[in-house]
Structure 1
Amino acid sequence: MTWSILGASLAAHDLAASRHFFGTLLGLGTPRAVDPQTLAFGEGLRLRRPGRMLARRGGDLLGPAGARHVAIEIDDLHTVAGNLGKAAIPHVEADPAEFGRAAIWTLDPAQNLVAFCQRQRSEGDAGWHVHHVNLPAADVREATAFYVEMAGMTEGRWQAPAARGDFSIDPAELAVLTRGTDNSGLHIIRPDPGFALRNHFAHNPSIGGHPAFCVKDVGAVKARLEAAGVLVSDAGVYAMANMRQIYVLDPVSNMIEVNQVV
């Protein structure tokens, strides 16, 4: 089945600060206002100010968790919905206005919120794109099997540089669901508390998940961030072959990766 990462959504309690961070410092351009609480940078990133609302369903108390999710384009949404139904995995239809197309919400085994969306877009060149979205999972194999079995996604082999950093590429600890050989797509990782210390980073990208944006000049992005006083971990080429990576926290401490093919 054909699929791709449509984008990621992050919580943003201060939309003005986040607009400047992503639009100017990262260079993602001018966003559009989806509604008074939501900004969109192309199809790849949505920033949503969470509302102060609670709802009770059975024994569960639900809050504004939908501000943070990954959206995956799929060419046969009907099949995905059928697979979820056969497996008795809870899922609900998205509001038609949410993604401008048919979509369904569900949770993967690691409790990551996922939207599967019917494919309809054409590719464009905005100077950047979503390279991957990283999701945490205590049981990497269980989470990976969900995407393979429910959405027909394909697990690939991690493409690491010859002199890689200090991290494990054991499939039980790190998996990549990809359509290519550049590690793009969906990353599933077991959180590793010592990751940053061993690699001499100020940030730990293995914890909490993150979107990764591929740009044409990551050095220029780093310079703008540091000039604005933002702490940057420059990982160089350490995890993915031919890919320089930097890590930062956005204004509300969402982990963000920016990378460039080198």
Structure 2
Amino acid sequence: MKLRLHHVNVVSDDMGELHEFYSKALGLSMAPLPPMIEHLGHQNDRTETEDDDKWQQNVAFFDASGDSDGDQQIHAGRRQAYLGARMGHAVNPLATGHFAFRTDDLDEVRKHLTDSGIPFSDYGEWAVKDWDQIFLTDPAGNVIEIHQILGSSDH
């Protein structure tokens, strides 16, 4: 079971404040948003600028790789206090934020967690197109995402 840190997700009620801090105060450049899935089930590949502007009111990805060849990112999102409950999940990744690992075998991770008696919320492909995601909490209540890119075992 191989995990590698992929991103840290921070949330706020004020997206402008997050944009300002991560782009200006820390000097991180915005990374292009991958195709996202709207929570009503409609897909949006954001091929037009208007779409990017609309999405960036709720989410932004910043490149935090520095000089490395990795793809470490900061994901900034609008706080959604009731997301977990609305979607029927015990874990809400957008209430306080989370950190995320990427894996090449999410089924192995699911089996390991189940065998270890560790509960998790299986969100599947719900926010980012082609990302299969689960969320769990550590013993201190910190939210952790583990995801795999669908149809790929080498990302």
Q: Distance in 2 between matches of 1:224 and 1:152?
A: 35
Please state how far the C-alpha of 1:155 moved relative to its aligned partner: 4.9
Please state how far the C-alpha of 1:166 moved relative to its aligned partner: 4.5
Please state how far the C-alpha of 1:144 moved relative to its aligned partner: 1.2
Deviation track 1:82-105 (CA, whole Å, cap 9, x = no partner) reads xxxxxxxxxxxxxxxxxxxxxxxx
Partner of residue 221 from structure 1, selected from 88, 109, 120? 109
Pairing 1:137–2:12 present? yes
Partner of residue 22 from structure 2, selected from 129, 139, 147? 147
Given that residues 30 and 60 in structure 2 are in contact (C-alpha distance below 8 angstroms), is that contact kept between their aligned partners in structure 1?
no
Corresponding residue SS for 1:186: strand
1:251–1:144 distance in 2 versus 1, CA, 3 Å: same
Please state how far the C-alpha of 1:178 moved relative to its aligned partner: 3.9
How much is the aligned-residue C-alpha RMSD, in angstroms? 2.5
**Which runs of 5 or more structure 1 residues have no equivalent in the other structure?**
1-26, 28-126
Partner of residue 39 from structure 2, selected from 158, 165, 169? 165
Q: Percent identity?
A: 27
> If you compute each CA radius of gyration, which structure gives the higher value, 1 or 2?
1
Given that residues 139 and 172 in structure 1 are in contact (C-alpha distance below 8 angstroms), is that contact kept between their aligned partners in structure 2?
no
Q: Distance in 1 between matches of 2:40 and 2:113?
A: 26
Partner of residue 254 from structure 1, selected from 142, 145, 153? 142
Q: Give TM-score, length-normalised by structure 2.
A: 0.73
Paired residues in the alignment total: 132
Q: Distance in 1 between matches of 2:12 and 2:60?
A: 10
Corresponding residue SS for 2:84: helix
Given that residues 31 and 61 in structure 2 are in contact (C-alpha distance below 8 angstroms), is that contact kept between their aligned partners in structure 1?
yes
Given that residues 155 and 177 in structure 1 are in contact (C-alpha distance below 8 angstroms), is that contact kept between their aligned partners in structure 2?
yes
Given that residues 119 and 136 in structure 2 are in contact (C-alpha distance below 8 angstroms), is that contact kept between their aligned partners in structure 1?
yes
